[in-house]
Structure 1
Amino acid sequence: MRRVGVIGAGKIGGSLLSRLAESGDFELAVSDVHPEQVERFRRYDRVRPASSNLELAEASEIVIVAVKPWDVAGVLEEISPAMGSGGRSVTSVAAGVEIRTIESYLPEGTPVLRVMPNVCASVGLGAAVITANEPGRRVLPEVMDIFGRVGEVMELPERLFDAATALHGSGPAYVALFADALIQAGVREGLPREVARRLVVGTLAGTAVLLKDRSAHQVRDEVMTPGGTTAAAFVAMEKAGFVGAVYDGVNAATRRARELGG
C-alpha cells in the first residue's frame, strides 16, 4: 500500500485527501499550518496527522505539496533532508512554480511532478494537467491515478501550464461569474431569484454533459434558430464585447501565472 503525504489540507489538498482516505487504498499523512484543517481528518483510520512537514516527508513515498505559490520554497526547504533517499517524490499543485525551481530546493535526482487541478475536485469532477521531470516519470502513472480519484487528468508539456492554469484552474470562477450574470439577468426580466438560479444551474449542468460528446459550435448551432431569441442574444453579447472579454481575461490570468512563477 502506497504511503502518500499531503502538505496543505485546504480546498485542493483536503479534497484529494478525503477521496484517497475513502478509497482505503493508501496510507496517508497530513500536515497544515492551521491545526483545525488537520483535525477534520482524524475520523479516518488511514490518515495520520504529522507534527511537521519533515516528519510527513519521512513517512511518505509520494509527497504532495498543496500550498500557495509563495509558501512552496519554505515547505521544500523543510522536507529537503528527507528527499535524498527512499525513492521519495514531490508533487506540487502550486500555480506558476516551475519544476526547475522546485528541483533547486531538493537533492539532485529527486523525482518532481507538477499538477494543476481545480476546485471541482471537491465533488470528484475536477480537471487536472500533469508533467514531470525525467526521474519523476517513473511515478507519473501513480500520481495520475491519485489525481484521477478527483477527476480527469491529462499529461501536458510544462510550457503550456500557465495557459492551462488560466483556463481550467481559474475556470470555475469564470463559469460562476457567468452563472451569476445569467441569474441577475433573469431576475431583471421578472423571474423570482430562486427560479432563475435553478434554471441556470440546471442549464449549466446539462450543457456540460452535452459538451462531452459535442463541440461547443455544435451545441450552439443546435440551440440557435435563424432570427430567433438565441440569435438576438448573440448579436447583443457580441456588440458588448463578450468574447473579447473572455480572451482578455484568460490572457491576464496566463500572464499572472507566469509572474507567480517568477
Structure 2
Amino acid sequence: MEGTGRKRRVGIIGAGKIGGSLLVRLAASGDYELSVSDTHPERLAEYERSYGVGAASSNAELAEGCEIIIVAVKPWDVAGVLHEIYPAVEGTEKAVTSVAAGVSIASIEDGLPPGTAVLRVMPNVCASVGLGSAVVTSNEPGRRLLPEVMAIFRHVGDVIELPERLFDAATALHGSGPAYVALFADALIQAGVREGIPREVARRLVNATLQGTAVLLKEQSPHQVRDEVMTPGGTTAAAFVAMEKAGFVGAVYDGVNAAAERARGLGGK
C-alpha cells in the first residue's frame, strides 16, 4: 500500500504456467508478500523452498491472508474457487483478479459477495520469460485497483487496459498467439529441411530470424519490414505470391476468428 511501507499481500491460486511465472517474477522483485495455493503439493513445496513464498493449505486460507487474490486456474474451475473463497472475501475490501479465458466479470461477480472489486487479465505464456503481453479490465469497484494490478502484471511483460467486449478477440490474438508463431516457425524449419538444409541449422536460422524480426517490429510497422525485404521480382516476392495462392492470410484470419469464438463459448456466450 502506497506510503505505508508495508508490502501488499498478494495470493495466487494455481501455480501452473501463468500463475507460476507471475509468482517467480513477483518473488524476484521483493515488492510483495506472496502466498500460493495449488492442487499439486510438490509445486507448493518447490515455491516455498526456492522462492520463499508462503504455501497455503487451501484456497480459503490463502484468501483470508491476502488483499489481492489472483485466480489462475482453468475456466471450468473458476466457479469452484470462487465458492471456496467467498467467506474470506465477504465484508472486506479484497480484490479478486482472474486470468481465466472466456470467464466474464459478470460471471465472476455472480460467485462473489456484492460489491467485490473484480478484475480480469488475459496474459500469454511469454510471461515465463518476462516478455509476455496482457490486457486488463475491471468492474466499477475494481477501477481503484487497476493501476496496482497493471503494475503486478508488468513484472511479466507489457500490459494494456482494454474494454471487456474485446477480451475474447484479445485472447484469440495474443493469448493463443505464441502457438501461432511456433506453428509458423515449425513450418519454416520443415520447409528448410525439404530444401536440403540440416534440421538443426534450419532451426537456428529460423529462431534467429524470428528474434531479429521481433526487434525490428518494435521500431517499424510490419509493412515497413516486409517492404525492406521484398524487392520487385525477387525471392521474397515469389514466396508471397505462392503463399497468397495457398490462402496463408485467410487461414490466419480464420484461425483467430475460430479462437475468438471458442473463447466466447468458454464463457457461455
TM-score band by shorter chain is over 0.9
**1:17-56 superposed matches below 5 A:** 17-44=23-50, 46-56=52-62
Query: AA paired with 2:162?
Result: L
Task: Name 1:147's counterpart in structure 2.
Answer: 153
CA distance in 2, matches of 1:77, 1:149: 29
Deviation at 1:247, TM superposition (A): 0.3
CA distance in 2, matches of 1:68, 1:37: 17
Deviation at 1:86, TM superposition (A): 3.3
Contact preservation (8 Å) 1:26, 1:46: no
Task: Name 1:169's counterpart in structure 2.
Answer: 175
Work out which of the residue numbers 172, 180, 190 in structure 1 matches 2:186. 180
Does structure 1 residue 236 correspond to structure 2 residue 242? yes
**1:245-260 superposed matches below 5 A:** 245-260=251-266
Query: AA paired with 2:152?
Result: I
**1:117-128 superposed matches below 5 A:** 117-128=123-134
Give the TM-score, by structure 1 length.
0.99
**1:1-262 superposed matches below 5 A:** 1-44=7-50, 46-262=52-268
CA distance in 2, matches of 1:184, 1:15: 31
Contact preservation (8 Å) 2:89, 2:113: yes
SS of residue in 2 equivalent to 1:122 = helix
SS of residue in 1 equivalent to 2:167 = helix
Judge which range, 164-173 or 35-44, deviates more.
Answer: 35-44
Deviation at 1:46, TM superposition (A): 4.2
Deviations 1:141-163 (A, max 9, x none): 11000000000000000000000
SS of residue in 2 equivalent to 1:9 = coil
Query: AA paired with 1:260?
Result: L
Q: Percent identity?
A: 78
Give the TM-score, by structure 2 length.
0.96
Deviations 1:163-206 (A, max 9, x none): 00000000000000000000000011011111100000000001
Query: AA paired with 1:210?
Result: L
CA distance in 1, matches of 2:51, 2:174: 33
Structure 1 residue runs of 5 or longer lacking an equivalent are none
CA distance in 2, matches of 1:218, 1:201: 21
Task: Name 2:3's counterpart in structure 1.
Answer: none
CA distance in 1, matches of 2:256, 2:240: 21
Contact preservation (8 Å) 1:89, 1:112: yes
Deviation at 1:236, TM superposition (A): 0.3
Deviation at 1:84, TM superposition (A): 1.8
Deviation at 1:85, TM superposition (A): 3.0
CA distance in 2, matches of 1:190, 1:89: 56
Structure 1 stretches of 4+ with a deviation exceeding 4 A read: none
CA distance in 2, matches of 1:153, 1:249: 24
